[in-house]
Amino acid sequence: MGTSRSPAEGGEDRGSARRVLFVPSNYRLFRSHLPVARAVAEAGGRAAVLDVAATSSDRFPPAGDFDFPLEVEGFAPAIPAYRGEGWLRRKRIERRAHREIVGAIRALFRRFRSHALVLTNNQAYVHYLFAAVARARGIGVLVVQPCLVLPEAEQLLRRSPPPPWKKRLLRGANRGFARVAGILDRVGGRPPPVEGRELSFGRGPAHLVAVMGERYASLFAREGVSPRKLRVTGNPLYDEMVRRRPGRRWPALARRLGVPAGPPVVVYTTQPHAQLGILDREAHAEMNRTVVRAVLASHPEVRLVVKIHPRERVDDYRPLAGDRVVVTADAELHPLLAGADCSVTGFSTTGLESVLLGTPLVSAELHPHPMFSFYRRQGVREAGRGESELAEVLRRLLAGESARREVLARQRQALSRLALCDGRALDRVLSCLEESVRRAAGPRSRSPR
């Protein structure tokens, strides 16, 4: 296919792109690339991150809360508001909003004077503009895959129309795109798709696209990303996650949660199915109740810890709590996964993380939607398509340590194409940063003025 694994760069090259600006979609996705920002700062560089419209439940902490020098700055794009204006008036509002966003991005780059820009998303209109303006100014642009991306989720997002204001804004932005320093003439000779749902991951004015594993390199190549841009790097979060051995923190966490030592422990990580539009609220609640019943039926002494997704409310899960069921929203995820005997999820990224941390995964396929069969289609055989089947799979795994070790080895082999996990992802991403800076400095990188 032509994709390559970026060579691991170490020693004096780590973080040598001295000024790097990170523009993630939210703090949750930025956490996976905190090691990159730390490496830049520790090499004497300047790392900054923009808090672009983060949700109230996922706000960036103050800069002083990080254990290395990191600048945190808010960036709130001007979203147009309509109150009964006519067509011509709306077009003027859209053009003015586009000019204001591009002007704000240019002013930010003039002030920060970056060598490199790191995006965890360029499907969004604002992120695409960041990449276009940065490349026009000779700044290296690297798009990184922050977490697992399900092909079915991509299709679901494409089928979902954007909000009316975004649709009008994007349609009215075609001329504005062409004005961004002539960048689009050089990128492909035509403007990008004007519908927001068609701004696919990795396409557009990025110098390089770093993906987690070979499976995603193939996926994004089929989506239209040039194989010359693709680099298989792994995820720096997984390097640190395994190296820090979070299982050592499990005993203290278990005492805080009231989970006794001795009985087997199962961790169930939830997903906001209702918010994603996959299930209605009642079907979502019934699915959670089914998982709880199956886990409790699998072993007479089992303890279940329900870890709630950050986008969900704790109050919705309090009815599940009981003598053997603990519901938590703020407990640290990785010690939970590392200390458990089994983990259960539908299609969350926590399934892969559980396997990397040494805990076998059970896939809860309790709905016919294809996203719920994601892990089974990757080769994970331990899947329950109903309450009784889920309970039986868990019963076999909780029966003995040898069964869990055998299943874990098989699952690690099956999921190896999802993420390259050899402890060198950070070096590969830093190498991609350097390559993007070199490409930006090339004779064809800057658009004609």
**Per-residue exposure over 264-285, b if at least 16 CB sit within 10 Å of its own CB, e if not:** bbbbbbbbbbbeeebbeeeebb
**pLDDT at residue 291 in the model:** 96
Phi, psi at 101, each rounded to 5°? -65, -50
Averaged pLDDT for residues 406-429: 91
**pLDDT at residue 4 in the model:** 54
Q: What confidence category does residue 215 fall into, taking pLDDT thresholds of 50, 70 and 90? A: confident
Name the average pLDDT for the chain: 79
Q: Which residues pair with 441 in a beta bridge?
A: none
Can you tell me whether residue 209 is helix, strand or coil? strand
Averaged pLDDT for residues 229-247: 84
309: closest CA among 24, 60, 120, 28?
28
**pLDDT at residue 120 in the model:** 78
**pLDDT at residue 320 in the model:** 93
Examine the pLDDT at 122 and tell me if it is beyond 60: no
**pLDDT at residue 18 in the model:** 81
Let me know if the fold of 4-235+421-440 is the same as that of 244-414: yes
Examine the pLDDT at 68 and tell me if it is beyond 70: yes
Can you tell me whether residue 383 is helix, strand or coil? strand
99: closest CA among 172, 164, 203, 49?
172
Q: Which residues contact 362 (CB under 8 A, 6 or more apart)?
A: 342, 343, 344, 382, 383, 384, 390, 393, 394, 397
Examine the pLDDT at 398 and tell me if it is beyond 90: yes
Averaged pLDDT for residues 139-161: 63
CB 349 within 8 A of CB 260: no
What is the C-alpha end-to-end distance of the chain, expressed in Å?
35
Dihedral sign (CA 85, 87, 89, 93): positive
How far apart, in whole angstroms, are the C-alpha atoms of residue 303 and residue 261? 10
Distances in whole angstroms, Cα of residue 21 to Cα of each of 73, 226, 297, 365, 445: 11, 24, 50, 40, 19
Report which of residues 61 and 43 the model is more confident about. Answer: 43
Examine the pLDDT at 311 and tell me if it is beyond 80: yes
Question: CATH assignment of 244-414?
Answer: 3.40.50.2000
Choice among 51-65, 173-187, 208-222, 429-443 with the minimum mean pLDDT: 173-187
**pLDDT at residue 17 in the model:** 55
How far apart, in whole angstroms, are the C-alpha atoms of residue 113 and residue 123? 24
| The architecture CATH gives domain 4-235+421-440 | 3-Layer(aba) Sandwich (3.40)
Averaged pLDDT for residues 289-317: 93
In the chain, where are the structural domains located?
A: 4-235+421-440, 244-414
**pLDDT at residue 310 in the model:** 83
**Amino acid, single-letter form, for residue 130:** F
Q: Which residues contact 400 (CB under 8 A, 6 or more apart)?
A: none
29: closest CA among 6, 3, 50?
50
The number of angstroms, rounded, from the C-alpha of 424 to the middle of its chain's C-alpha atoms is 19
Examine the pLDDT at 67 and tell me if it is beyond 90: no
Examine the pLDDT at 158 and tell me if it is beyond 90: no
Residue 449 burial (CB count, 10 A): 6
**Amino acid, single-letter form, for residue 70:** L
Report which of residues 116 and 122 the model is more confident about. Answer: 116
38: closest CA among 69, 65, 17, 60?
69
Can you tell me whether residue 308 is helix, strand or coil? coil
Encoded tokens for 416: 């190896």
The helix or strand, by DSSP H or E, that contains position 144, with its residue range, turns out to be: strand 140-144
**pLDDT at residue 1 in the model:** 45
**pLDDT at residue 87 in the model:** 64
Examine the pLDDT at 26 and tell me if it is beyond 80: no
Q: Which residues contact 311 (CB under 8 A, 6 or more apart)?
A: 55, 57, 58, 272, 275
Contacts 24+ apart (CB under 8 A), 368-377: 369/152, 369/278, 369/279, 370/152, 371/150, 371/152, 371/153, 371/156, 371/278, 371/346, 371/347, 372/346, 372/347, 374/150, 374/152, 374/347, 375/347, 375/351, 375/415
**pLDDT at residue 329 in the model:** 92
Choice among 126-135, 316-325, 385-394 with the minimum mean pLDDT: 126-135
Q: What confidence category does residue 65 fall into, taking pLDDT thresholds of 50, 70 and 90? A: confident
Averaged pLDDT for residues 344-373: 91
Encoded tokens for 164: 């009316």
Examine the pLDDT at 88 and tell me if it is beyond 80: no
**pLDDT at residue 3 in the model:** 55
**pLDDT at residue 98 in the model:** 75
